[in-house]
Chain A
Amino acid sequence: MAPFGAALVVVLASGIAVLAARWLPLAVGASPTAPERVPFLGGGLPEVHAWSRFHIRYYAMALLFLAFDMEMVFMYPWAVVFVEEGVIALVEMLMFIAILLLGILYAWREGALSWAS
């Protein structure tokens, strides 16, 4: 029980700290007025809510990263059998990397890696 007692104290203390941090500003600070809450635009006022759907321009990079990440995962079992299989394993892996690289070159040529068109 002793180790759990210490954990319980930490959980309780952190819970109280979070609640205090939530409650203290409400208790002591004046709540901001409507003009105080608006985002800073250099003196301009926003017309619309800033909650908007925008283009995640890094998605092409993210997909490419995932492809090469999975390739690395595949290389671990390959490294285990590499010594047994010899040159055939090396050639197979090179073919696999070459196919992925062709994909990247194609995406590059098509302009998929440029940030904004």
Chain B
Amino acid sequence: VGLLIAAAGRADVPVFPVVGAGGREAADELVLLPGVRVVDSPRAAILLVIVGRLTRALLHPTLVVHDQLPGPRATLWWPVAGPDHEGLLAALPDVVTADPGDAGLLREVFVDLLNGRRPSDPPSLPDIDANKWRGVGPYGHGGEGMMGGVPYGRPMAMQASDPDGLMLDQLPLHVGPLFPALPPGLVLHLGLQGDVIRGLAVGDNPYRSWPGDPPLGPLDSAPFVDALTSPTTVAALEIARARHHLVWLARTLRLHGLEARGRRVLALARSLTPADRPAVEGLARRIGRDRGLATATSGVGVIDQARLEALGVLAGGPVVRAAGAGIDTRTSDPAYADLGFVPIVHSPGDGRARLRQRVAEAAQALALAERAGDRERAPGWPVEGPRGALAPGQALPSAALAAMVPELVDGMEWGDAVTTIASLDLDLEEAAFAPAPVHAGVPAGTGGPDDGGSHGHRDQQATS
């Protein structure tokens, strides 16, 4: 048995990440750590790694997921975005605080769990059934009567009409905020008939901050937000753009089951320089030719110009340009004047067009960075961010993109819905981020809401 434990201790450590505020980039780090395997379900995990700061809205989902690890299990915390505000981690038993990126400690806790030196975490939620079912009904499993009773603690689903005119059961589901196939923090309340979504609402954003909360971030669009108020170089901005799109590509490849490719793209994104342009151009060609990705994304989640106009989202960004509209604030930015910048556009605005759009823009950004040399960019002009135009005092583009989700994916099959949501490049933390009010002396940096004034309007959608 000792030999068996020693062999098991050398296996990859199965880890389920919980992405807290400011933790998205460090959660990607977890994918790249040697000897660590990021799994898609807590059922397959031994370690729960909380990356970033837990918010109040994330605490209960985290406890639910914690208890779904079958055990032996342990919880680690990577404090990448400041201390544990409000002491929320106290609700979890025996959290080990670790340096972000410390694979050694992950392995140590894993081996200790396996050979019994460390006891498994006890459950964090009380052992209470949703409904009393033991011994209820003729068979003692809770099922009784016309409506089916509460078999094993939960009632049966109600019927609703199906697109084919049948009356079939519709499962009301609440998915997220820790569902790995969705952007971290996204909560979907949906009805599911088989694999078809029937009615969908986006839940409250768990990163939404209240007065007194520590600031959100660091946002992945921080270099662009900072460029609104402070001078920077065109090259730095364009490399940040290329990196952003490649990180998105890596996550999308992982979502489509291409994990090794995703890891390679992520490693490329981390050490990106203008000299990597040929590699990124080759990547763009290969992505464009990939039959598997084409099948999974062609015709899925079509957002054409008419739809964008109807939704009032026409402020640039890859989603708009993938629908064929060449809207880009860089065309009127004096810093880009003689760089020969022409916006790339794709059509017809489906998932595949957005995929090719972003990879092509990453290659274009590196070419621009090469041509720009050390050219300075003065603040005062709107900045073309990686998701759309940024202007002082305005909500960041993720809020508008997240508002499109219910209308876009209602009626889709679940797999197409996941592909579509991934192709929007949502960041819920950016959607929750309050823009700094525009007045002199206050930098619109990466700080959170600094007073109550800017609260409220940017809560992108209500739970229906």
The interface of chain A, by Cβ under 8 A from chain B, is 32-36, 38, 40-55, 57, 115-117
Contacts of A33 in B (CB 8 A): 67, 123, 125-127
* Inter-chain contact A43/B178, CB cutoff 8 Å: yes
* Inter-chain contact B125/A52, CB cutoff 8 Å: no
Taken together as a complex, chains A and B put the C-alpha atoms of A73 and B125 apart, in Å, by: 59
* Inter-chain contact B127/A54, CB cutoff 8 Å: no
Q: Chain B interface residue count: which class?
A: 35 or more
Q: Which single member of B61, B64, B163 contacts A117 (CB below 8 Å)?
A: B163
5 closest cross-chain pairs (CB), A and B: A43-B61, A42-B179, A44-B174, A52-B169, A33-B127
Q: Are A41 and B179 CB-contacts (below 8 A) given A33-B127, A48-B172?
A: yes
Q: Which single member of B64, B151, B166, B177 contacts A51 (CB below 8 Å)?
A: B151
* Inter-chain contact B171/A44, CB cutoff 8 Å: no
Whole-angstrom distance between the Cβ of B74 and the nearest chain A Cβ: 15
Q: Are A116 and B163 CB-contacts (below 8 A) given A34-B153, A45-B64, A49-B152?
A: yes
Does B182 belong to the interface (CB within 8 Å)?
yes
* Inter-chain contact A55/B166, CB cutoff 8 Å: yes
Residues B20-50 near A (CB distance < 8 A): 41-43
Residues B163-208 near A (CB distance < 8 A): 163-164, 166, 168-180, 182, 187, 193-196
Stretch at the interface among B154-162, B337-345, B365-373: B154-162
Whole-angstrom distance between the Cβ of A117 and the nearest chain B Cβ: 5
Q: Which single member of A36, A47, A57, A115 contacts B154 (CB below 8 Å)?
A: A47
* Inter-chain contact B123/A46, CB cutoff 8 Å: no
Taken together as a complex, chains A and B put the C-alpha atoms of A1 and B164 apart, in Å, by: 60
* Inter-chain contact B174/A35, CB cutoff 8 Å: no
Residues B193-252 near A (CB distance < 8 A): 193-196
- 8 extra interface residue pairs, beta carbon distance < 8 Å, beyond A41-B173, A42-B178, A54-B169: A33-B126, A34-B127, A41-B175, A42-B61, A43-B64, A48-B154, A48-B171, A49-B156
Taken together as a complex, chains A and B put the C-alpha atoms of A115 and B196 apart, in Å, by: 10
Of all chain A residues, the one with the shortest Cβ separation from B43 is: A40
Taken together as a complex, chains A and B put the C-alpha atoms of A38 and B62 apart, in Å, by: 14
Considering residues A34, A43, A55, A115, which has the most beta carbons from chain B within 10 angstroms of its beta carbon?
A43
* Inter-chain contact B193/A54, CB cutoff 8 Å: yes
Whole-angstrom distance between the Cβ of B26 and the nearest chain A Cβ: 19
Does B310 belong to the interface (CB within 8 Å)?
no
20 contacts between A and B (CB under 8 A): A33-B123, A33-B126, A34-B130, A35-B64, A40-B42, A41-B174, A41-B179, A43-B62, A44-B64, A46-B173, A48-B156, A48-B172, A49-B157, A52-B170, A52-B171, A54-B193, A55-B193, A55-B194, A55-B196, A116-B195
* Inter-chain contact B171/A43, CB cutoff 8 Å: no
Does B68 belong to the interface (CB within 8 Å)?
yes
* Inter-chain contact A35/B179, CB cutoff 8 Å: no
